[in-house]
Structure formats: C-alpha cells, structure tokens
Amino acid sequence: MARTPISRPSGSRTNGEWKSPQRFFNRELSWLEFNERVLEEADNSAHPLLERVRFLSISDSNLDEFYMVRVAGLKGQQEARVTTLSADGLSVSQQLQAINRRTRQLIDRQGQIWKTLSQALEAEHISIIRPDDLRPKEKTWLKQYFTHRLFAALTPLAVDPAHPFPLIANDGLCIVLQLKSDTPEEEDEIFWAVIPLPNNLPRLIPVMDIPQRFILLEDVLLLHLNQLLPGFSVRQSGLIHLIRDSEMDIDEDVEDLIEMFKSALRQRRRGHVIRLLASEDMAPELLAFVKDELAIEDEDVFLVEGLLNLADLEELLVAERPDLRFKTFSPKIPAWIKAFGGNYFDAIRTQDRLLHHPYHSFDAVVAFLQQAALDPHVLTIKQTLYRTSKSSPMIRALIEAAEAGKSVTAVVELKARFNEEDNIRLAEKLERAGVHVVFGFIDYKTHCKISLVAREEGNLLRTYAHFGTGNYHPITARIYTDFSLLTCDEALCQDAAKVFNFLTGYAMPQRLDRVIIAPRRMQTELLQRIEEEIQLAQKNGTGSIWAKMNALVDPTIIDALYRASQAGVKIDLVIRGICCLKPGVPGLSENIRVKSIVGRFLEHARVIAFGRGQPLPNETAQVFLSSADWMPRNFHSRVETLVPVTAAELHAYLLHTFQMNLEDQKQSWWLTPEGAYQRAPFKAGDLSVHEYFMRHPAFL
C-alpha cells in the first residue's frame, strides 16, 4: 500500500539539556491518562455496542488494580514518611491528591458513559431491570431462584459490641444495613448488619435464564431479605465496594518460598482499605458508620452515581447477540507450517520463523512444544512461565514430556502479580509429574519468555529456541498483539542456554554473543545504541529510532532520547500505556513523536529499531524483539531479553508492522507536549492497524 508522509512537530533545536523535573510526565497520572483512552473506547460509536460495554468494564477493572498496587505503594511510602520526590518533582502527598482528583473525574465519566450505553442496550432489548420492573411470573421465578440458588450462599453478619465489623475481602461488594426489629419492645433500637456478596456468584442474574434481561444480585437479596433476617425491617441500606492494599512483603531469608507466598497471599486479602466506593444515594448516617468501622479518611471515599463496580458489566457479554460484538476472527496457521507437514524442526532448520499474534494462532507455539514432548529424539526441554492459563496445553505438553522420560525444567515466576496462587498450583502440579521446577530469584522477577529444546540429530545435539514478547498464555494470546521468534541459530540458542543456566544455577553469564539481558547490560546496551545514533546524526545529518512498547518510564533512557532529538535524530515511539517523556518540546524533544494505539486488540509487543544513520525503515537497521518495557524495574529488577532479528524477511516484516502502526488513524492517540492525548482524526477508509493485519495475515 502507498506510504503517506507523516508531519512532525516543528521548533528550534538547542544543544542544551533540560535538568528540571518538569521534563518528565508523572508516571501515575500518565497511567490514568491511558485508562482514560480505554474508557473513551466505550464511547466510540465505531465499535459494536457490547464491545463498548466491555471497554467500560475493562476501564473499571484497570482502575481497581491501579489502586491495589500503585496507590497502595504510595500510601505505604506516606505512612513511612518517605520524602523522596518522583522524577517529575512531586511529593507522595501531592501525587495521591492528584491521583484522587483525576480518579473522581474518571469515575464521573464512567457513570456518564454507562448511562448512555444502558439506554442503547435497552433499545436493543438488553436491560438491567429494577425490582419494580419485575413481572408477576418473574417474581415467582426469582423467589425460587433465591431459595434454591442463593440463600445458602449468603451470610448476613451482625455488627454490634459482640460482633465487630467483619473482614470484607479485597475487591469485595457488600450490602450495609441499618435495621429495626419487628418486635414491639425493641422497635426503638437500631441494629446494624452487613451482607458480603460472594464473588463466585453472578452479579447480573439473567431473569428466567433469559440472557438479555438481568437483575442485580443486591436487588434480589434486598427483595428477599425477610428470609435472611426474619423479624427485622430495613431502615436504610447501601452498597459499598472495597479496594485493599495488594502489595506483598517478601522475606528474603525465607526457606520455603511456596509457604511464604501462601502466607503473603492470605495477608493480601486482609490488607488496609485504600479506597471505598459507595452509592451516591447512601444515607449519610450509613456512610459515616462504614467510614468509622473501616477507619478510612474522606479523601479515600468515592461516591458513585448509578451502578457500582462497573467491572461486573462483563457479565452482560453472555447476551446472545453476535450482531453487537466484533465479527468473529480466526487466527491463521502460517503457510510454512503446512508446507513442512507440521514438522516444526524441519521448518525452523530451513530458516528462522516469525509469528505475529493474534493474527497468527498461538496454537503454533503450543504445537512446537507438543511436538518436542512427543519426539523421541528430544532430550531436554526448558521453559519460562510467567503467566499462563489454568488448563494450558503447554503445561500438559511439559508434563507429557517429563512422563516420557525427558529432562524438563520449568522456571515458574511466583511473583507474577495476581497470578501467584495459580502459579503455586501450577508448580506443584509440574513437580508431581517429574518436572524440575525452579522459582528463579527473590530479588528479580523472571519476566523473559524463552523455550529451549535440545534434540539429537545424527551425531549432533541441535537446540531450538522460542523467544516471545508476550506470555505463554493461550487465552490472552487471542487478544494481545505479540511476536514469537522460532530459531535454531547456534548463537541465539547458546545464549538462551546461558540464560537458563543463570535462572536455574544463579551463574550470571559473563558473555552473550547475540542476546542482551537485564539486569546485566540491557540499559547500558540501549544507551550505547542511542549514543551511536546521535554520533551518526551529528556526522551525517541523519539518524532515526523506532520503539514500540507498553511503557516508557526510565529517566536515564528518556534523557538519552532527549539528547538524540537535540542532535537531529528522528524518533517515533508507539507507547500503549505510561509515557513519562514529553514529545514535541522545542529545544528538548521536537524530533520525538509519541502515539498510543487502543483498539480491538491490546498492543503488547516490544519492538525496537535503530536506523544506523539512515531514515527508517532501511535494510541495515538494527531490529530487536524484547520482553521488556523501558522502566527501571525491567532494567534492574527483572530478567528480560532483547533479541536481535537479522533474517532479511523477518527484519523487513517487523519494520513493516511498525510502519503500519505509524500510519494507523482509526485507533491512534497522539501525545501533546502538555500531556494530553488527542485522538487522530479519521474517516471511512482510513487505516486501522488491527483490521489491516486481520485482512493481510503475515506470509512468513
């Protein structure tokens, strides 16, 4: 397709470098801007209606997780009286104030969008009805449903001097009640109770099992409260949603890592309440009771108009309305797999292979591991596991390989946030099957994505490797854009073996030929390549850098990019989420552009290209795939990989994918020097990078 020129911000260029903290955007506020972009997709009429509901649900779930982790961390710093300023010069208290202020705006916006979407859903005969809307037959059905499906699962809890306010689980919904006794001698007394809503019950109940007419669980409960609390009447009721601190303290001297994580997970469920959401119409007396019992400050209380906990709207997607969803997309199996009769070893020996997910099916990666498990010539399999699904076929393949007598090693990262429990169960399951399970390091998370297979071929022991930018998770691989490199290149495979020796034997590799890793040298190597591009631009008048990732936070890297911009290097960054770099600032970054792509698929791949003194794309550019975003944690406290791609066909394809990202109009947001994101204007026929690759699956 024709390439259209892309205009760049203009401005003077100086050799001076800004030293003020104002050269950075705040990390936390930048994340909230990202979640605003996700939320705006719920208001994007170009998307099918139920997909807009899904975006709204995701934005609310994202916000909860942000508070569990990032705000919890800041509150911990506040309690510890930490005085260190953020990179952009804000104190902890200033950041918390700014976060809460921005969050209130987001919550209000969520409520506005839900009001619009709920009206649109009703026009499509999908609705969340109120109790007053129930028809006689529905009331009869609902009474039976409550008796047989809900009653035994609900636990009303009294609150009085003998019964303290109960522990409400993190991310839990709870009905708070002020009651009066129906007994005349107690009619002047006030009684308090709470009823937690079990998170394993549906929040949206399809009335009469018709998945287009729903009623809220809390409304069903209140309708039948006389069965739960006979002899009492409700004076006041309200719904609350709690978010607790989900950070875990890790004891570096612990002897049993599994037991330590089990204990830490129990503590997480009892963490401090850091945010309380309540119905806006909750009676002041009821709200005051909750705040007092939870010892929560006013600044951490958020009143919500309309539906509380919009993340539960995901349950609406069960409605049988394919006309209101994205058209079904089936990932393709690359032609080269069929050309070699499904023999991955033969195909990879011929040349390196690249898979572009989700346009290429992740089943191809699974099949590679399954073939290795069944192949009698395969001696060993080594695999990193950061996140995967509970019933992953990759896990079954590793178990089959171990049971077949192969030496199988799995490096399971227990510190994969919110996947800790799943990974503990996974590790125990693998160990029972005879897999050597290694938990990596206390100090570092194992975030790299590598598979390594050693196979006897005649008198040779040949190794095959898979390097990925995403997790070995067959479910998220359907909606995350990522790359997989399959290779038997001797240097790359030798480096992969050394990385595994580091992960299992703690021996930091002294020398790697091709692969660059963190925490050893990744930041240094990136800085060196940026500096080389600066020198070439100063010498030849031309230099270029392309980088695509989820987050750009590291101040040292950002300052290097500023220096490159001042030297005339043209820099294009596709950053889905957090970006602390300020683009387009005269004298600082006028040669840097930043865009974010938010759409049907979640942009997750990390691709970096250095033009080597020429405009990109070009045949001599250095191109890398990586597991790492450019954040301090990725460079200094995680094991990550940066893998060069040199095979001409794959090299050209990766540059082509980046070019398509730059040309995208339908899903793009451009970051301004002031920190706002502006949606790229688009019209019918303009490029959507997701639609493009769905229609034009890679030929590799």
Backbone angles phi and psi of 446, in degrees to 5 = -85, 100
Q: Which tokens hold the place of 539?
A: 């010498």
What distance lies between CA 174 and its chain's CA centroid? 27
Q: Which tokens hold the place of 215?
A: 């009623």
CB atoms inside a 10 Å sphere around CB 143: 14
Largest CA distance in the chain: 94
CB 536 within 8 Å of CB 505: no
The tokens 């301090």 sit on which residue? 632
Strand partners, 624: 608, 644
Helices 92-123 and 72-79: crossing angle, nearest 10°?
150
Q: Which tokens hold the place of 478?
A: 């359907």
Q: What is the dihedral of CA 658, 661, 662, 665, to 10 degrees?
A: 170
Contacts of residue 297, defined as CB under 8 A and 6 or more positions apart, other chains included, come to none
Helices 393-403 and 420-432: crossing angle, nearest 10°?
20
What distance lies between CA 451 and its chain's CA centroid? 22
> What own/partner pairs with CB < 8 Å and gap ≥ 24 does 325-332 have?
325/48, 325/50, 325/51, 326/47, 326/48, 326/51, 326/600, 329/358, 329/694, 331/357, 331/358, 331/359, 331/360, 331/361, 331/362, 331/363, 331/478, 332/359, 332/360, 332/361, 332/697
Q: Which tokens hold the place of 428?
A: 């125990």
47, 356, 357, 447: the catalytic one is: 447
**Using only C-alpha atoms, what is the Rg of the chain?**
27
CB 530 within 8 Å of CB 500: no
Q: How far apart are the C-alpha atoms of 595 and 548, rounded to whole Å? A: 10
CB atoms inside a 10 Å sphere around CB 371: 16
The tokens 């809390």 sit on which residue? 218
The tokens 């969008």 sit on which residue? 113
Q: Is 447 a catalytic residue?
A: yes
CB 604 within 8 Å of CB 629: no
Residue 177, classified by CB atoms within 10 Å of its CB into exposed (0-12), middle (13-18) or buried (19+), is buried
Catalytic residues: 447
